Structure 1
């Protein structure tokens, strides 16, 4: 486990969101980091797709980047012109 320094404003945002969503501040921060990381790795996925993916991963074996390729929906194939 490590320590991550964040701004006071982001900490306040985490505090408010964690209270509203019944999560600890650390759990809320980790949730946002997972969503952000997956959004950057897979920009074609919508937020709802990412949330469903996180649920499937957690049910299967827990969150690990190495397991993502097996859980991700495959992008549609483009036809050659």
Structure 2
């Protein structure tokens, strides 16, 4: 699966692999695809009022939103990656 074009902005806080790089920021790796799609749409549309997320997402189109949700849902969690 190719990395999404919009991954950079998300990766600054959530990590490219979905393991958060900042305290208090949720991990996205391995989250359910439908949950991530819905959450991203809610941030984009303002139904979840978190200014930093709304700014980061901006006018994210459906294809980019789907690509980000698919990417993060497909990433293994730290627990899954350990032998």
Please identify the structure whose Cα radius of gyration is greater: 1
TM-score, with length taken from structure 1: 0.30
Higher share of residues assigned helix: 1
